[in-house]
Structure formats: structure tokens, C-alpha cells
Amino acid sequence: MKYKQTPIGRIPKEWEVVRLEDVADYINGYAFSPRDWQEKGLPIIRIQNLNDPEAEFNYFDGEIDKKYIVEKGDLLFSWSASIGVYIWNRGKAVLNQHIFKVVPKENVDKLYLYYALYLAIEQLKNRVHGSTMKHFKRSELKTTFLPLPPLPEQKKIAEILSTIDKAIQKVNEAIAKTERLKKGLIQELLTKGIGHKEFKDMEIGRIPKEWKIVKLEDVAKVFDCKHRTPTYYSEGFPVLLPRNVQEGRISLEDAPRTSYEEYLDLTEKYKPARGDIIYTRNAKVGVAGMVMANEEFALGQDLVGIRPLKKVESNYLLYVLNSSIIRRYLLKAQTGSTFKRINLSLIRKLKIPLPPLPEQQKIAKILSTVDKKLELERKRKEKLERIKKGMMDLLLTGKVRVKGI
């Protein structure tokens, strides 16, 4: 098997290296303005609709050039704010600006191009423009290159990679189903409890008659942190930000780092410990994660630390704080015109349902069983994504060859 050296690395001798602009036509979306938005018609595909399947659509119900129409199976490439590649699978829609509809040329397989564009994104990441709204210029299509095998081999590569994607999609569906189950269980258990027949109406809703309503500060110590942003470095002690707090857990993987002196200063008032709950209180409101290990890190200023006392089961409190009951209340209580946040005093006075301790433990145990299933599914997804990444590296560079179909 013979290879050749190219601007994008070593590839098989019979493969071509082509510019992005040579493999497809790139049709930019229409510049819809808010006055074009309507309550019915065709959905308008914006960046948030590509990144979040739950994001609401705006609609357009008028005449528009057919080049802006998107059908199921079309290839889309967002080039501003969030750079990514997508196969649209949600029916007929219209395309907003900052997204290309990609129409492959005759000798290019659409599904192969979908995967190959991930290689292009890696090149484009080093050439994006803008400090707040990251984007790449259309001229970059002339200076970004892709490997192009013969058409039969393109199809076979796409077939192999799409098989992995289908497996990932099945896991995603299992995760979504389990998350819906968990959400329903939380609502049921936090309002009806286990085996109760008598209820009472309280300010947070109907709860079992023998339960109490307490303030968060009655069952936990609630800590603020220093209201300042430290100097960040490439190495050092992690500073937890809201993005590092996920429902039920925290991740230090991409947390910014600061010096030992800054870390000591930030943790002088509150040093997180195993079993503490970290709570978000800025634009990402009401997400609670638990510290699961004895790790050294400081809190950023948009987070609150909650240390449960003996009268409350820590996992029960975690589920309460992540419940839609509490989150809805917090969203209404946000202050600030552009940058929303929750005051510390409001979090301390937050009213929560409190069953007897044995029932708290039973509720937490039921919900933790669902969480274990979710964790298994997430690990399956991570494994499949690692396999996909490895296969893309092998197949899209020709390190491993496949026979065309």
C-alpha cells in the first residue's frame, strides 16, 4: 500500500486532497429578524436548535427562496457562535443565517462529507475570528483541505462510521427515557412520598400530612465564596465554575486553574469537602452537584456551597435541590436585568419538603437506582464515542483501508 505526504498529512497515493469549496456548494441561511417570527409555519433552524433538541423554535409563514428550505437528511454546517456539522432529521424547515446548507458535488458522498467535515473543524478552530462571537470567514473554504478517497471507498467509510453513530443514538434514546423516568419519579416522591394517604396543601404544593416544610438553612450550612475572579494559569489549583456543575455531580476536567496563594485566599471562607453540595446561582440557575471525593478546589463566585446537617440525608437534599419544584421557584426569583442570579439570602431561606429521616433515605435509594442506570448508559456512550473517534482517525486518513461497495 503506497502513501504520499500532503498538506494535511500522509494519505493513500490514490486519494486526493481537496479544498472545502471544491467538494460542495455552501448556501448561507436567510437573515431572519424577530419581526419575521410567527407562531405557525415552518420552523426556523437557529444555532440553538442544532445544539439543543429541546430548544424552542421560532416559525416563518411566508414566501422564501427554495434554497433556504431544509429537508430531512440535509447536511448543515454552522460557522458562527458554535462551529459544528449536523445531519438535519426533524422535517421540513427554513435556515437562519450563520448556518450553511451543504450540497455535495457529484463525486462526493454526503455522509462521507459529514464525517470529513470534522477534520475541517479541527483546522478551522485555529483560524476563527471574533472575541465574543467566534466565527470563520467564507474565504476559509478555499484554504481548508480534506482527504477525498474514490467514491466507493467514501461510501464504505461512511457506512462503518454511521453504524457506530446508530449505536450511539440508541444509547442517547435510553438516556433520554431514563431521564424522563427520573423526572417523573422525583415529582411523585417529593409530593406524595411513600405509602401516604393523607396530605396537606403548603406554600410549595401538596405534601404528606406528617412531612414538614423547613428552610434550607435549618438543615444545612450554606456558604458563599469570595466575590472576585482570581488570576488563572495553565496549571495550579482548580476553580469550579457553573459549567463544571452537572446534575448530581461535578467535574474538574476543564476547570480553570489558579495559584496556591489564590487558592488559599478563595478557600479561607469555605473549603469544599466530600459530601458537600455545590449549587449554581447565575444564568444557569438551580443545578446541584455533589462532591464525591476529597479533592482540592475553590469555588467561583457564581456558586454556593451547601453542607447538609445530620437531620437531612445528603442525597435526598441533592434530589430536592435538582427538582423542578425548586428550580421553577428560583427562576421566578432571579434578580438582575441582563445577568440573572440568585441571592445567597434567598437560597438560605429556600423552603423544602422534609420527610422523617428513614423516608428520606428510602426516597434517595429509589432515585439512586435510576442514577446508577443513567451512569451505566453514559459510560456506554463514552466508550462508543471513543471507538468512533479512533475509527475516524484510522478511516479518514487511510491508515486503515476498506473495500468500496
Tell me what pLDDT residue 339 has.
47
Structural contact between residues 248 and 371, judged by C-beta atoms closer than 8 angstroms: yes
Structural contact between residues 91 and 72, judged by C-beta atoms closer than 8 angstroms: yes
Each domain of the chain, given as residue ranges in start order, spans 3-148, 149-199+355-405, 212-354
pLDDT, tens digit (0-9, with 9 covering 90-100), for 313-362: 999 999 999 998 888 888 776 655 444 568 889 899 999 999 999 999 99
The Cα 316–Cα 371 span in angstroms is: 13
Q: Does domain 212-354 have CATH number 3.40.50.970?
A: no
Please report the DSSP string for 144-205 in residue order. Answer: -EEEE--HHHHHHHHHHHHHHHHHHHHHHHHHHHHHHHHHHHHHHHHHHTTT---EEEETTE
Q: 3-class SS at 58?
A: strand
pLDDT, tens digit (0-9, with 9 covering 90-100), for 81-126: 778 899 999 999 999 998 999 999 999 999 999 999 998 888 777 7
pLDDT, tens digit (0-9, with 9 covering 90-100), for 260-285: 999 999 998 889 999 999 999 876 78
Q: Is the pLDDT of residue 203 over 90?
A: no
Structural contact between residues 402 and 396, judged by C-beta atoms closer than 8 angstroms: no
Confidence of residue 127 (pLDDT cuts 50, 70, 90): low
3-148 and 149-199+355-405 agree in CATH topology: no
Confidence of residue 214 (pLDDT cuts 50, 70, 90): very high
Tell me what pLDDT residue 388 has.
96
Question: Is 285 or 3 the better-scoring residue by pLDDT?
Answer: 3
Which fold would CATH assign to domain 3-148?
A: Adenine-n6-DNA-methyltransferase TaqI; Chain A, domain 2 (3.90.220)
pTM of the model: 0.81
Work out the average pLDDT over 253-265. 93
Q: Over the chain, what is the mean pLDDT?
A: 90
Work out the average pLDDT over 224-234. 87
The Cα 220–Cα 334 span in angstroms is: 22
Structural contact between residues 78 and 45, judged by C-beta atoms closer than 8 angstroms: no
Q: Does domain 149-199+355-405 have CATH number 3.40.30.10?
A: no
| Percentage of residues in the chain having pLDDT higher than 70 | 95
